[in-house]
Structure 1
Amino acid sequence: MTFEPATLFAIFFYAFAGILVLAALQVITSRNPVNSALFLMLSFFCASGLWMLLRAEFLSLVLILVYVGAVMVLFLFVVMMLDLDLAHLRRDFKKYLPVAFLIGAVIVMELSIVLIRGFIGTTVPLQPMMEEMGGVSNTQALGRLVFVDYVYAFEIAGLILLVAIIAAVALTLRRRKDSKSQIIADQVAVNPADRMRMVKMDSEMDAKQDQRGKTGGDQK
C-alpha cells in the first residue's frame, strides 16, 4: 500500500495539528503545574513538526533547541523545585475570571482578523518575496526580514521582554526576615577606621600579667 506525497502531507499535518490542540488545552486545564509544563513541551514538538512540513527547517530546529531544549527544561525544573501553594493561587480565580474572559475575547478577535485577511479569499501571499531574495534559503530570507526590514520592531520587542523580565523579578521578590544578603552599597562606602582600631600595648606589661596569672594558679 503506497500513499501519494499529498496524502502523507495531509496525514502528518492533521496528526500534528490535532495533538497540538489537545496539548494546548491540557496546558491551561491541567491542575498539576508539572503536567502543564510537559504538555507545553509536547505542543512545541508538534508545532516544530508543522513548521518542518511547511519547509521552515530553521524555525523548526530553533524551536526544538531553544524552547524545548533550554527554556522549557528550565521552567520544568523551576516548577518542580518551587513549593507552589495551589490553594492560594486558585482562591482568587473567580475574582479575575471576567478580566480573563475579556482579554481572551480580544486575543481571539485579533487572531480571527489575521486568519481572515491572510487565508480566506486569497490565493497569493499578501507580501510576495522580493526578487533579490528569490534564490536564497529561508534562513537568509528570515534574517533579512528580521534584522534589516523589521529591525526596529525587533529591538522594541527585545526591550519589552527586558521590561517584562525586570517586572517579573520585582513582583516575585520577597524580603524575608531570616534571609541574609549583602548590601553592596554599604560595603563600598565603609570607612576603614570604623572597622579596625589599632591598640598599642607594652610587651613587658603583658609578660607581667602572664606571670601573675601563673602564680595565682599555682597558689590555688
Structure 2
Amino acid sequence: MTFQLGVFYFFATVLIFASSMVITVRNPVKAALFLVLAFVSAAGIWLLLEAEFLAIVLVLVYVGAVMVLFLFVVMMLDINLVRLREGFGEYLPIGGLVAVLLVAEMVIILGSDQFGPAKMPDPGALPAGHSNTRELGRLLYTFYAFPFEIAAAILLVAIVAAIALTQRRRKDSKYQNPAQQIHINPRERVRMVKMPSEKKV
C-alpha cells in the first residue's frame, strides 16, 4: 500500500464516521461540528485528486461561512432536545428506505455510460501551467452541462420548498392582511375628539 492510498483510506474512514455521526447524534451543535469534520475530510480527498480549487472552496465557503451560520442559528434557537428525540424511531424505516433508494440511484447513475467516468476525456499528462479552475469550468459548462442544469433545478425546488415550509401560518403569529387595510373606511381611521384646552376654575 502506497502512502497516497493510505491517506485516502484515512480521510475516507473519517468522512464516513463523521457523516454517520451527523445523522445519528441527537445534539444539533455536535451534529454541526461533525459536519465540519466531514467537510474537512472531503477537502482532503479533493486535494488527493489534485482538485485544489474544490478543496479550498469547500473549506472557505462551507466550513468558514455556512457552518458558522448554522452554529449561530442552532445555538440561538431554543431547541427542546427531549421533544427532538421522541420521533426518531418512528421515522427510521422511512429514512432507511429513502437512503437505500438514494444509494441505488447513485449506483445506476455512476454505473451508466452517460454520467460515469467511461466517457470522460482523458487529460493525459498535465502541463506545468495547468489550471484546475479553468479545466473545471470547461468540463462543467460543456461536458457536464446537462447534469449541471438538473442539479440547479433540484436546488431551486429545494429553496422554494424550504421557503414554503418556513412561511406556514402559525396560531401564535400575527399577520397583516393588505386587502383589509386598503378597503377600510377612511372615516374610521382617525377619530376626532374635541377637548377643552383649559379647565375652568
> TM class, shorter-chain normalised?
0.7 to 0.9
The structure-2 alpha-carbon separation of the partners of 1:184 and 1:32, relative to structure 1 and needing over 3 Å to count, comes to: same
In structure 2, what residue type is equivalent to 1:164?
A: A
- Cα distance in structure 2, aligned partners of 1:150 and 1:184: 46
Between the two proteins, what is the percent identity of the paired residues? 50
Select the structure that is richer in helix.
Answer: 1
Partner of 1:168: 162
> Is there any run of 5+ residues in structure 2 with no aligned partner, and where?
none
The correspondence of residues 111-190 of structure 1 with structure 2, limited to 5 A, is 111-113=106-108, 125-129=117-121, 137-176=131-170, 179-180=173-174, 182-183=176-177, 189=182
Q: Which of the numbers 83, 98, 103 marks the counterpart of 2:98? A: 103
Deviation at 1:29, TM superposition (A): 1.8
Partner of 1:10: 5
Partner of 2:44: 49
In structure 1, what residue type is equivalent to 2:24?
A: T
> Is there any run of 5+ residues in structure 1 with no aligned partner, and where?
1-5, 119-124
- Cα distance in structure 1, aligned partners of 2:166 and 2:190: 42
TM-score, normalised to structure 1, is: 0.70
In structure 1, what residue type is equivalent to 2:81?
A: L
In structure 2, what residue type is equivalent to 1:155?
A: E
Q: Which of the numbers 54, 60, 63 marks the counterpart of 1:59? A: 54
1:166-204 per-residue CA deviation (whole Å, 9 max, x = no partner) reads 2122223354555445555666x46794576698x9xxx
Does the alignment pair 1:76 with 2:71?
yes
In structure 2, what residue type is equivalent to 1:159?
A: A
The answer to which structure, 1 or 2, has the higher relative contact order (CA under 8 A, 6+ apart) is 2
The structure-2 alpha-carbon separation of the partners of 1:194 and 1:23, relative to structure 1 and needing over 3 Å to count, comes to: same
- Cα distance in structure 1, aligned partners of 2:178 and 2:47: 50
The structure-2 alpha-carbon separation of the partners of 1:195 and 1:148, relative to structure 1 and needing over 3 Å to count, comes to: farther
Bigger CA radius of gyration: 1
- Cα distance in structure 1, aligned partners of 2:87 and 2:139: 43
Report the RMSD for the aligned CA atoms in angstroms.
3.4
Deviation at 1:94, TM superposition (A): 2.9
The structure-2 alpha-carbon separation of the partners of 1:66 and 1:101, relative to structure 1 and needing over 3 Å to count, comes to: same
Report how many aligned residue pairs link the two structures: 193
